[in-house]
Amino acid sequence: MIAKGSAVDETDMRADLEKVLIPEEELQEKIRELAAKIDADYAGREILLVGVLKGAVMVMADLARALHSPVSMDWMAVSSYGSGTQSSGVVRILKDLDADIMDRHVLIVEDIIDSGLTLHWLMSNLESRGPASLGVCALLRKPDAAKIEVDVKYIGFDIPNEFVIGYGLDYAERYRNLPFVGTLAPHVYGGSGEQEG
Ligand code: XMP
Ligand code: MG
């Protein structure tokens, strides 16, 4: 049964959505821009895209298809202990890479840089494995939440320090399938525990 449009939209979220922060068309346009820069910078080299599960699945899928460079894809899942929507920088590997990244041109693909602690940890972990180069492409960054500076060459959008969902980003595993990035109404979130990308 297809009662309305072909994809999930803001009307599916009812009172859970506060506002749409980045509409689908802007996300897709930005991904194409990022892909063009990456293609130019990596010309003649094969890229190993490392997606951080689960939040990066959408940006990985769209970025990979916007690139003309030859790419392989691999995935890591990490979990950072923290309270509720805050990460602590204490990171645990839930799923490691399948590939050996020694002498490869590795580009980490992230959904969001919040405190930067997870990415900082991930970069030093991957750096120790001897890649030919290590770069980062993150769709979103919250400059006001930074606890540590990380050198990120490809950034989609700087956003306010608010909890966001959609386009891979979840709250309690929901809302990842929204094609836009939005903010969640404050009444929806709270609590504490271990947070997985
Ligand atoms: P940091 O940079 O603080 O971020 O180590 C760790 C991970 O937390 C997730 N994260 C979010 N997830 N909405 C989400 O759905 C958000 O606003 C948000 N901020 C951080 C994300 O997985 C990030 O990699
Ligand atoms: Mg998450």
| Protein residues within 5 Å, CB atom, of ion ligand 2 | 170
The number of beta carbons lying within 10 Å of the beta carbon of residue 98 is 10
Position 66 scores a pLDDT of 98
Q: Among this protein's residues, is 16 annotated catalytic?
A: no
pLDDT: is 179 or 189 the higher one? 179
Confidence band, pLDDT 50/70/90 cuts, at residue 87: low
Q: Which two tokens stand for residue 105?
A: 């041109």
98 pLDDT higher than 90: yes
Position 74 scores a pLDDT of 98
Q: Which two tokens stand for residue 171?
A: 């709250």
Identify the DSSP state of 78: E
**Is the CB–ligand 1 distance for residue 80 below 6 Å?**
yes
Please give the distance, rounded to the nearest whole angstrom, from the Cα atom of residue 128 to the centre of ligand 1. Answer: 24
Confidence band, pLDDT 50/70/90 cuts, at residue 60: very high
* Residue 47 CB partners (closer than 8 Å, separation 6+): 38, 67, 69, 70, 71, 72, 105, 106, 107
Confidence band, pLDDT 50/70/90 cuts, at residue 192: very low
Please provide the average confidence, as pLDDT, over all residues in the chain: 90
Position 10 scores a pLDDT of 72
- Alpha helices by DSSP H, listed for 5-103, are 24-41, 57-66
Per cent of the chain over pLDDT 70 is: 87
List, for residues 64-82, the tens digit of each pLDDT value: 999 999 999 999 999 887 6
The DSSP result for 27-49, as a single string, is HHHHHHHHHHHHHHHTTTS-EEE
Query: Which of 62, 74, 98, 114 is flagged as catalytic?
Result: 114
Residue 43 one-letter amino acid? A
List, for residues 115-173, the tens digit of each pLDDT value: 999 999 999 999 999 999 999 999 999 999 999 999 999 999 999 999 999 999 999 99
Q: List strand residue ranges (DSSP E) for the chain, in order.
A: 17-22, 47-53, 71-82, 91-95, 105-113, 133-141, 154-158, 164-165, 181-184, 193-196
Position 82 scores a pLDDT of 63
Domains detected in the chain: 24-80+90-159 (3.40.50.2020)
**Is the CB–ligand 1 distance for residue 150 below 6 Å?**
no
